[in-house]
Structure 1
Amino acid sequence: MPNVSDLFGDLARSLGFLSRFPISSRFFEGHDGSVSRAVRVFPLAGLVIALPAALLLWLLLEWKADPLLAALIALGAVTLSTGALHEDGLADTADGLGGGRDREHILSVMKDSRTGSYGVIALILSYGLRATALASLAGPSAALPALALLSAAGGSRALMVGHWRALPPARHGGIAVAAGRPEADASTFALASAALICLLLLVSVAGLLPLLFATALAALGVFGLTRHAAQRIGGHTGDTIGASQQVGEIVFLLALALAV
């Protein structure tokens, strides 16, 4: 059984890694910067990161705001919390895999700070599809889209850990290498806890079958990205890790909106 104090420390370091939330420096003193074990609480960190946005979404819908407007405002709030960390990875991955000729060229494009056409289109689709899915879920109740946003935030970060664990680093350096490879037990804990979180949050308002459908398609989407990254660049980068979170979240929300 994990130690509660260790879990809390891992959560603080995870939030420092995944968000712009102010985290006390005491959690990083004497720490080597690795998140190999801390990834086990990435789903919980996702919940904490998305909680302000989910509450905002619920309030706006309760105040009868237009569902699409409310969804876009909520996604904007999440972006402020993360500093567009995962969106940046999605854009760079889309540019690299979309326009790169070979492995070295793909990695070079990903490292370029400029955003190309593939990246811009990926970001438009990311926000557009997620906002539309959340808005469509607002029909039955204001709680459903808010809980869906929380579930997607937790579940997608577990799938991100799965992508990270499944592939070796494509580069010798970089943030992903410095952060360390997720431990096997930590990865299993992340996936299991994310499944429990989604079950507890959504099964009563969305139903078990729609939840299973959305979870399976999200996992399949991240699996597809993982296979493609393995074939094209032979591993993961910090960008593909971020892209896997985005793919998982987008597919989960879309599938849930279609199934409910």
Structure 2
Amino acid sequence: MIDIRDFIDDLARSVAFLSRIHMPQRHFVDFDGRLSRAVRAFPLAGLLIVLPAAAVASIFSAIDAAALFTAFVVVAIQALITGALHEDGLSDTADGLGGGRTKESALIIMKDSRIGSYGAVALILSFGLRVSALSAVLPLLSPTGAGLLVLAVAALSRTAMVWHWSKLPPARRDGVAASAGEPETGAVTMALVLGIVCAALLLLLSGASLLSAVLAIGAFAATVAAFSEIVKGKIGGHTGDTIGATQQLTEIAVLAALALAI
């Protein structure tokens, strides 16, 4: 039986962890910073965080704004609300995995705040692929459908973070991810079910076909599985950066699948 008050606390903590949104202090009483149970709320936290961007997608679609411009604004709003947290993770991960010849050197590079060529290219591709895919999809949907699709992608990409986090041990014992704790098995299961069900319903309500929804969820699963194996082989476990990179890569993959199939 889920205690609704505990779940609301977990939701508030997840939103605060994944974005720059300030949540009421009452949700952090006796909170030790560990998110082992709170990760179950990541999919819903993703919905709340991306809600302003989804609203803009609907409004701009309703006034017939150019799809490319709308897509740029939607992606920009998400980056502002999260403080580009996930983009930073993608950039650091690309630099570390691309430039590090050993586990130790890769982890050192990932901790360096400076951006390298791999990270710069990764960011360019991330923004370019997300914007282009979203701009291809938006004209095919109603204004309401555009907003629901943006929310569906948000739910899947935050679910992907939890799955990647749970699949691998910490690569370093003093990192942000390690200090946040290992996700509880029950919390991971709940996040996966909640995220996939919410995304599927939102996609179908958006006007996407059943095939599109299946392909989007398939892209989500394939991305997490493949990227986790790459990370495991390179550095032996997850870091806060690889968790953020998982969100970005999943968002790219899901939007690409929808652009090809919707």
Distance in structure 1 (CA, Å) of the matches to 2:94 and 2:149: 25
Match of 1:61 in 2: 61
C-alpha contact (below 8 Å) 1:135/1:145 kept by paired residues: no
- Residue 172 of structure 2 corresponds to residue 171 of structure 1: yes
- Residue 78 of structure 2 corresponds to residue 78 of structure 1: yes
- 4+ runs of 1 displaced by more than 3 Å? none
Match of 1:184 in 2: 185
Out of 159-168 and 199-208, give the one that drifted further: 199-208
Distance in structure 2 (CA, Å) of the matches to 1:203 and 1:119: 35
TM-aligned CA deviation for residue 150 of structure 1: 0.7
Distance in structure 2 (CA, Å) of the matches to 1:132 and 1:146: 17
The residue correspondences of 1:194-205 to structure 2 (distance < 5 A) are: 194-204=195-205, 205=207
TM-aligned CA deviation for residue 48 of structure 1: 0.2
C-alpha contact (below 8 Å) 2:61/2:146 kept by paired residues: no
C-alpha contact (below 8 Å) 1:230/1:236 kept by paired residues: yes
| Structure 2 runs not aligned, ≥5 long | none
Match of 2:260 in 1: 258
1:76-117 Cα distance to aligned partner (Å, 9 max, x none): 111111111111000000011111111111000100000111
TM-aligned CA deviation for residue 29 of structure 1: 2.1
Out of 134-143 and 16-25, give the one that drifted further: 134-143
Distance in structure 2 (CA, Å) of the matches to 1:31 and 1:258: 44
Match of 2:104 in 1: 104
The counterpart of 1:207, out of the listed 206, 209, 234, is: 209
Out of 42-51 and 121-130, give the one that drifted further: 121-130
Superposition TM-score, scaled by structure 2 size: 0.97
| Structure 1 runs not aligned, ≥5 long | none
The counterpart of 1:218, out of the listed 212, 217, 220, is: 220
1:46-92 Cα distance to aligned partner (Å, 9 max, x none): 00000000101111121111101111111111111111111100000
TM-aligned CA deviation for residue 44 of structure 1: 0.1
C-alpha contact (below 8 Å) 2:88/2:241 kept by paired residues: yes
C-alpha contact (below 8 Å) 2:153/2:251 kept by paired residues: yes
Match of 2:10 in 1: 10
Out of 37-46 and 115-124, give the one that drifted further: 115-124
Distance in structure 1 (CA, Å) of the matches to 2:177 and 2:72: 30
1:128-169 Cα distance to aligned partner (Å, 9 max, x none): 111111111122223333222111111111111010001000
Distance in structure 1 (CA, Å) of the matches to 2:138 and 2:238: 36
C-alpha contact (below 8 Å) 2:39/2:183 kept by paired residues: yes
Distance in structure 1 (CA, Å) of the matches to 2:204 and 2:26: 38
C-alpha contact (below 8 Å) 2:9/2:28 kept by paired residues: no
Give the CA RMSD over aligned residues: 1.0
C-alpha contact (below 8 Å) 1:171/1:237 kept by paired residues: yes
**Number of residue pairs matched by the alignment:** 260
C-alpha contact (below 8 Å) 1:152/1:253 kept by paired residues: yes
Superposition TM-score, scaled by structure 1 size: 0.98
